[in-house]
Amino acid sequence: MAESNPFENLQEQVADAAAFLPDGVGDDVLERLKNPERVLETNLTVDMDDGSIRTFRAYRSQFNGDRGPYKGGIRYHPGVTRDEVKALSGWMVYKCAVVDIPYGGGKGGIVVDPADHSASELERLTRSFAKELRPFIGADKDIPAPDVNTGQREMNWIKDTYEKLENTTEPGVITGKSIENGGSEGRVEATGRSVLFAAREVFDYLDTDLTDATVAVQGYGNAGWIAAKLLDEQGASVVAVSDSSGGIHDPDGLDPVAVKEFKNDAGHVTGYSDAEELSNRDLLTLDVDLLVPAALENAIDEDIARDVQADIIVEAANGPLTPDADDVLQDADVTVVPDILANAGGVTVSYFEWVQNRQRFSWTEDRVNDELERVITDAFDELTHAYETLDLPSLRTAAYVVAIQRVVDAYTGNGNWP
């Protein structure tokens, strides 16, 4: 089977949903909604520890700025491509719009496997990218954030490089920083927390009980492990989790914190003593109430989708279902809460971080979590309202209809110039 292209998937999702806008949208505007405004492609030449130099390909896509500054993470992964970055930047536009925070969408990536490099090599690589990005980013222009394989450390380096080159202090140029460097309470847990809120809302909507639910989580990084921990705290039973090493399964329920502690030491979840091992495919097709894909895009294709037994999927990862898989699951009456709502906690608390940076005033963790809960539950209500009143085929279509309408309204209000 040909590898699904995430950018084509994004374009298909936007075109499909745009057809349901109550007042319609012309093909000319649709073209704008489907394509990035600009993409920076650069080759970073970096000193290696052994005295050699190496070149790394890097991208930053600024997809749409009609609703505010471009916003989106920076990913370090050997599989990063121009099309992947374009797709991720587009999903950010619609994610920010569906939760109604005043941002456009962007995304960046470097083609690198961080496991192959020392901390000092990664610092030089990150600062080199920050130097390239400097003319294009800023608290009112484009605000990067962490994504796969990047975190507080890389965000601190980017902020520091930017501030030194600009001879200023501007913490709001980037989010996901450590607390001491202008980060926000609650940011690290924010994505997993919005997955919890989205799961709670959809179980409620479907009149089922999350506290009795069995859960499988694919991907045990930041988004996946926090979601597993919070779902467990809510009373759900997390029976299987996985990472790139494979999966583990205990029908009586795993202890997410103990699994995380094991992974911190061992580097992977496999080998955890109180569970059986299972493949990633078997995890995705396990008979559970809730499946949370929290690894990378295209994790569930049409073939796997046919074997999915979960009743509800809450997408923690960006783009974990191919459009064909989405069709199969829709036919099978599986309820999917789309990524652009379910994992929007990360960007929402990034927004709170940016607001705090601009206010030069820090909020408490309780305030951050309360505001996040309000944003996600309000967005879920608006989405289900659109789903019902416009008689839409899926919650994903509903999310895109709400989001696209907001982008179209902003674009129309701004006017087209020059």
CA distance 339 to 198: 10
CA distance 93 to 23: 20
CA distance 342 to 376: 8
Query: Nearer Cβ to ligand NAD, position 20 or 59?
Result: 59
Query: Nearer Cβ to ligand NAD, position 18 or 219?
Result: 219
Residue 45: CB minimum distance to ligand NAD, A: 26
CA distance 29 to 34: 9
223 in contact with ligand NAD (CB under 6 A): yes
Helices 222-233 and 256-266 meet at what angle, rounded to 10? Answer: 150
Would you say 173 and 159 are in contact if contact means Cβ atoms under 8 Å apart? yes
- Name which of 198, 207, 78 is nearest 149 in CA terms: 78
Beta strands in 20-118 (DSSP E): 38-47, 53-64, 70-77, 105-111
218 in contact with ligand NAD (CB under 6 A): yes
Site string for ligand NAD, 309-348 (x = CB under 6 A): -------xxx------------------------x--x--
- Name which of 269, 276, 226, 223 is nearest 250 in CA terms: 276
CA 293 to chain centre: 11
CA distance 94 to 223: 19
148 in contact with ligand NAD (CB under 6 A): yes
If binding means CB under 6 A, how many residues of this protein chain bind ligand NAD?
23
221 in contact with ligand NAD (CB under 6 A): yes
Residue 183: C-alpha distances to residues 155, 163, 175, 351 (Å): 10, 15, 7, 11
Site for ligand NAD in 381-400 (CB under 6 A): none
Parallel/antiparallel/unpaired status of strands 312-314 and 290-293: parallel
Residue 293: CB minimum distance to ligand NAD, A: 8
191 in contact with ligand NAD (CB under 6 A): yes
Q: Which of the stretches 18-26, 130-138, 294-302, 362-370 binds ligand NAD when contact is defined by CB under 6 A?
A: 294-302
Residue 147: CB minimum distance to ligand NAD, A: 5
Helix (H) or strand (E) segment spanning residue 263: helix 256-266
Among the options 34, 71, 86, 107, which is catalytic? Answer: 107
Would you say 294 and 179 are in contact if contact means Cβ atoms under 8 Å apart? no
- Indicate which single residue of 63, 220, 351, 380 sits in contact with ligand NAD (rule: CB under 6 A): 220
Residue 196: CB minimum distance to ligand NAD, A: 14
Q: Which of the stretches 25-33, 37-45, 238-246, 374-382 binds ligand NAD when contact is defined by CB under 6 A?
A: 238-246
Site string for ligand NAD, 249-288 (x = CB under 6 A): -------------------------------x--------
Q: Which of the stretches 42-50, 233-241, 291-299, 379-387 binds ligand NAD when contact is defined by CB under 6 A?
A: 291-299
Parallel/antiparallel/unpaired status of strands 335-337 and 312-314: parallel
Which position's Cβ is nearest ligand NAD? Answer: 221
- Tokens 């970096």 identify what position? 46
CA distance 140 to 159: 14
Residue 230: CB minimum distance to ligand NAD, A: 14
Structure tokens at 208: 């089922």
Residue 377: CB minimum distance to ligand NAD, A: 18
Q: Is 95 a catalytic residue?
A: no
Q: Burial letters for 223-233: b for 16+ Cβ neighbours within 10 Å, e otherwise? A: bbbbbbbbbbe
Query: Nearer Cβ to ligand NAD, position 80 or 386?
Result: 80
- Indicate which single residue of 66, 121, 147, 189 sits in contact with ligand NAD (rule: CB under 6 A): 147
Query: Which residues form the interface with ligand NAD (CB under 6 A)?
Result: 147-149, 191, 218-224, 242-244, 280, 294-296, 316-318, 343, 346
Active site residues: 107
